[in-house]
Amino acid sequence: MLTAIAMIVFTLPHGPAALVVVLVLSSIALFIFRHYADDKNFITNIFLGALLFRILFGIIIHVFDLQEFVGPDSFTYDYFGARMADVWAGRISIHDPLISNAMVTSGPGWGMSYLVGGIYFVIGENMFAAQSFCAVFGAATAPMIYFCAQKIFHNNRVAKLSALGITLFPAFIIWSSQLLKDGLIIFLLVFAMTMVLQLQEKFNYLAALLLVFSLSGIMALRFYIFYMVMAAVAGSFIVGVSNTAPAIARRTLILVFMGLALTYLGVIRNATIDFDRFGSLERVQLSRLDLARSAESGLDETVDVSTTEGAILAIPIGFAYLMFAPFPWQVSNFRQSITLPEVLLWWALIPLAISGLWYTIRHRLRKAFPILIFGVMLTLAYSIFQGNVGTAYRQRTQIQVFMFIFIAVGWSLYQEKKENRKYLRQQRQTKIDDALRANMRRVRESDDNNPSGG
């Protein structure tokens, strides 16, 4: 309630409309989450907690005009979204070259302009309302990762720890509190993987439609991730969790259904066009150079990934920066310095992630296959593509969201080992105490049988 009041008081005149957006979307999300959750109280609290952090951070960004500092892309989405809403309302002409180029349905991030334009068309131009829309989906990622982890491991501790990590980890709060596509993409990734896990258990038309919807959304927001998700989805259905005839028939039906649906919606056509335009290593090299030159934190511009050999050689250094940057000894500005506490925390969690990942590969490989194959592909792609530390830090969240499941597994294994050691110590102590008591009884019995002490 206090947060709702803050939204209205500190962000006038944009706050009331933003609050309506949050209330409507949150009510729908909570209704759905509570319907499918066994632990309804935890799901409710984790969603509201995640939403609280994101809305509060969004208020700070809006009140102090920090968009340029933390997420300047939001101005681009706001501008093109507003122009699209003007076109649809008849206020400006669609023949304006800048607007007509923005209204294409292919290329990098075209879906974000349409999404913001749709919001503005309904409620009017309101950047705070649009970023609050993104915040709700960012908060909804926490319950979704709970369901995803639960389906893989069937363990409440792992599921709850995964959700807590997504709720509290600073990077997820930062990037899902703004008018940026990162929070939406992360939600759609987790949503897609959860639907895949659901379809592996049982064919469901609703789950299949929702999977197609999430894949379409990913295609519209960040098209190159779509190919990796599709590879992971197709691979998971080919491998499957069971090789019985009904299971194979079900997986085949799902793949055919997805192919037809994505073709009908034009997603496959757009994917083919985008791949032809942007799928070459030469284009990747140009994008990497642009990133390297556009910021103080740019990586080595001499690295050439335009050839297969160059791309392979770039992976080790790219992987190090993607997973661990910014390094404390390379901090060069205030923006990087404020991320150091989180980076050090992330480093501390890596051993738990490795432990959980190893356990998953050994015991839950078939179940976790879509997450594992997607994570590997996206990690390799970003290791080649990323050209500066800031972008690597930001897009690392698309990998971290699933890493937190493995971190939760690693922590649960550590806790179980700790509890087992404690139990064994108690058992040994109990045996020692029993032996001492038995020995004392024998001594007393001996004394009773021989009162003279002879």
Task: Spell out the alpha helix ranges (H) of 64-181.
Answer: 67-70, 73-88, 97-102, 110-123, 127-153, 156-168, 170-176
Per residue in 97-138, pLDDT tens? 667 767 777 777 889 999 999 999 999 999 999 999 999 999
Q: What percent of the chain has pLDDT over 70?
A: 89
Instruction: Record the tokens describing residue 450, joined without a space.
Output: 């021989």
Q: Say which DSSP state 41 is in.
A: H
Tell me, what's the pLDDT at 231?
Answer: 86
- Angle at CA of residue 214, ends 208 and 217, nearest 5°: 145
Q: What is the mean pLDDT of each run of 10 residues along the chain (454 residues)?
A: 91 93 97 94 97 96 91 92 89 74 75 94 95 97 97 94 96 95 96 92 87 92 88 82 71 77 70 64 71 60 75 85 85 81 94 96 91 91 79 88 97 90 84 80 71 54
Bridge partners, 298 (sequence order)? 388
DSSP per residue, 286-310: HHHHHHHHSSTTB--TT---SSHHH
DSSP state of 93: -
Using DSSP, state whether 280 is helix, strand or coil: coil
Which pLDDT score is estimated for 422? 82
Contact 67, 124 (CB under 8 A): no
List Cβ neighbours of 46 (8 Å cut-off, separation of 6 or more).
142, 143, 146, 160, 163, 164, 167
Q: Would you call 90 helix, strand, or coil by DSSP?
A: coil
pLDDT at 451: 59
First-last CA distance in the chain: 84
- Identity (one letter) of the amino acid at 271? A
Alpha helices in 281-396 (DSSP H): 281-293, 308-324, 334-337, 340-363, 365-385, 389-395
- Helix 156-168 × helix 127-153 angle, to 10°: 160
Distances (CA, A) of 325 to 103, 246, 318: 36, 47, 10
pLDDT of res. 265: 67
CA distance 101 to 94: 10
Is residue 348 classed as helix, strand or coil in its secondary structure?
helix
CB-based burial of residue 402 (10 Å sphere; 0-12 exposed, 13-18 middle, 19+ buried)? buried
Looking at residue 269, its amino acid is R
Cβ proximity of 187 and 137 under 8 Å: yes
Q: Are 314 and 415 in contact (CB under 8 A)?
A: no
- Is the Cβ–Cβ distance between 267 and 221 less than 8 Å? no
| Centroid of chain to Cα 390 | 18
The torsion defined by the Cα of 23, 24, 28 and 33, in degrees rounded to 10, comes to -20
pLDDT for position 202: 83
Half-sphere exposure of 175 (CA within 13 A, CB side): 24
Distance CA(208)–CA(340), nearest Å, equals 41
Q: What is the pLDDT of residue 354?
A: 96
User: Would you give the DSSP letter of residue 131?
Assistant: H
